[in-house]
Amino acid sequence: MENTRQSVFKQALSFGLGTGLALIALSLLFFVFDLTGNKTFGFLGYIVLLGGIVFSAINYRDKHLGGIISYGQSFSVGFYTGAVAAILSGIFTYFFFRDIAPDMIDTMIRDAEDNMLRSKPDITDEELELAMLYTKKFITPGWLGIIGFFSYAFFSLIFALIAGIFIKKESSF
């Protein structure tokens, strides 16, 4: 099999777009089947992200580097793949909460208020009002998109650091 050299960025863009689209599809499935707030299924997005990072780095090693990849190269392609997926997911999250499900924001705000009242039953009305004022400032489509991006970007960093340990293959000579 002939190995063709490809840049890390082209590899990351290709696999990052695929991973990002898989994350979007997963989000839409959660929305359609009303599993959006389900904590049991919440980890599946991170599994998809990890899978995209690992598959991208292994594919890059085997198809473009002749089966040899350094830790740094593995980390780079993995992290950039995750970063592209995070950007795509963050943009989708913004448009999702702005255009597809804006009513979910009201539900999130009500849930936040219920959680505050449940965790701190002796909270005064003034404290609750102030807390809800700040909550409403950060539960907007823009902030949810930014938070989603940084969450996936952070986990991309962690996953790429760990995956690189197992994916690297140094030359034996």
Mean pLDDT of 94-115: 94
Phi first, then psi: what are they for 19, rounded to 5°? -65, -45
Q: For residue 4, is pLDDT > 70? A: no
Is 1's pLDDT higher than 50?
no
The answer to whether the beta carbons of residues 77 and 57 sit under 8 Å apart is yes
Q: What is the pTM for the complete model shown?
A: 0.91
Q: List, for residues 119-156, the tens digit of each pLDDT value.
A: 999 999 999 999 999 999 999 999 999 999 999 999 99
b vs e for 33-65, b when ≥16 Cβ sit within 10 Å of the residue's Cβ? eebbeeeeeeebbbebbbebbbbbbbbbbbebb
CA atoms of 74 and 66, how far apart (whole Å): 13
